[in-house]
Amino acid sequence: MTPQSSLISSNFFRDCFKRFLPNSQAVALAIILIVSFVLIFSLSGLLMPVFSSIVLAYLLEGLVGKAESMRLPRLPAVYLVFSGFMACLGFLLFYLMPIVSQQAVELVQHIPLIINQVQNGIMRLPEMYPQFISESKIREMMFAVQRELLTYGQNMLSVSAASVMSLVSAMVYLFLVPLMIFFFLKDKEILVDWLLQFMPRDRHLTVRVWKEVDVQIGNYVRGKFAEVFILWSASYVTFSTMGLNYAMLLAVLMGLSVIIPYVGATLVTFPVLGVAYFQWGLAGDDFMYVVIAYSVIQALDGVVLVPVLFSEAVNLHPIAIIVAILLFGGLWGFWGVFFAIPLATVVKAVLTAWPRIEDNPDHMIY
């Protein structure tokens, strides 16, 4: 390599480095992001209760801040918010979960009957459309489906056998997570000051990005919790009034469906309409009433709830939302799916606030 080509290559890499890391604040932000990602990705399996506690404490901190804005001292505000959190957790564990579990077991017990009805309907297809499908093909298809269901049932039994340890871990988490949430809220200033001593001194850009992300994530997550609760309540009242079986289970699925934008609403359609179909069939008007009620709830969610609850949230392109769900869901499972949009907001905030040479030729941020 000639000296001139070596100089050109050196200038090229130096220019790329300055373009991506134009000043010390950008370097500090990059280091913080990389270290945070590595720690969360590598330790999520071991420290998931800690990370979950941090996330929940962060969400509850907004309520503590509102209580403090009403001139309530921090410690009483923490006790008040934490008591409300424990009351909601008790409602979830001792009232909602037993009902949902019972209805889920009843639905599983009725699956053979549902499969039998589907099989009888499918076996009539060769008589109705002999030119399109034969009885031998139908039998082959049904045999393949039964084989797959048998394999799935065996897998479920193995999962159930291994779920004893998971149950023990869940009981431990139910004790540790609320305890850590309380101390995260109570000793927030002490913990934040301890953490800041490990941060770079030149972190003005990091603070600016965090302020923007804090507002967006707070608005989004608190709005999403409100949307889940409202949709669950409206669905349960509607389904139970109409006499639909498994009303609580379907209402919970309706509420949780909003966690995954676009995809969740599509997936929850099948169990709701499927239960209505096998309960009443297509002959009467009850099935159509369920379809209309379900459509109205979904329409009100998209037209009324979403604009009201997320009016201050950052608008992301649907492609960006889907990519974020696939990426972060693959990395961190349920929590990755739930926080896919906030994490995408973090990425967008970083890209928006990242210093550019064209806008800042002196490579300094004030």
End-to-end CA distance of the chain: 42
| Residue 22: pLDDT over 60 | no
- Residue 142: inside a domain, yes or no? no
The predicted-structure confidence for 119-157, as pLDDT tens digits, reads as follows 676 666 666 666 666 666 766 776 776 666 666 655 554
- Residue 127: inside a domain, yes or no? no
Give the whole-angstrom CA distance, residue 243 versus residue 225. Answer: 27
Q: For 104-125, what is the mean pLDDT?
A: 73
Q: What pLDDT shows up at residue 84?
A: 92
- Residue 92: inside a domain, yes or no? yes
SS3 332: helix
Most confident of 62-66, 114-118, 249-253, 284-288: 249-253
Of 350 and 88, which is predicted with more confidence? 88
- Residue 139: inside a domain, yes or no? no
- Residue 174: inside a domain, yes or no? yes
Of 225 and 219, which is predicted with more confidence? 225
- Residue 136: inside a domain, yes or no? no
Q: What pLDDT shows up at residue 87?
A: 94
Of the pLDDT bands very low, low, confident and very high (cuts 50, 70, 90), residue 62 is confident
The mean-pLDDT minimum among 50-64, 129-143, 198-212, 278-292 falls in 129-143
Helices (H) and strands (E) in the chain, counts: 16, 0
The predicted-structure confidence for 160-169, as pLDDT tens digits, reads as follows 444 544 666 6
Instruction: Single out the residue of 276, 224, 282, 226 nearest to residue 247, CA to CA.
Output: 276
- Residue 317: inside a domain, yes or no? yes
Per the structure, the complete domain to which residue 212 belongs is given by 3-99+164-353
The predicted-structure confidence for 168-205, as pLDDT tens digits, reads as follows 666 777 888 889 999 999 988 888 888 878 777 766 77
| Residue 254: pLDDT over 60 | yes
Structurally, how many domains does the chain consist of? 1
- Residue 349: inside a domain, yes or no? yes
Q: What pTM did the predictor assign?
A: 0.71
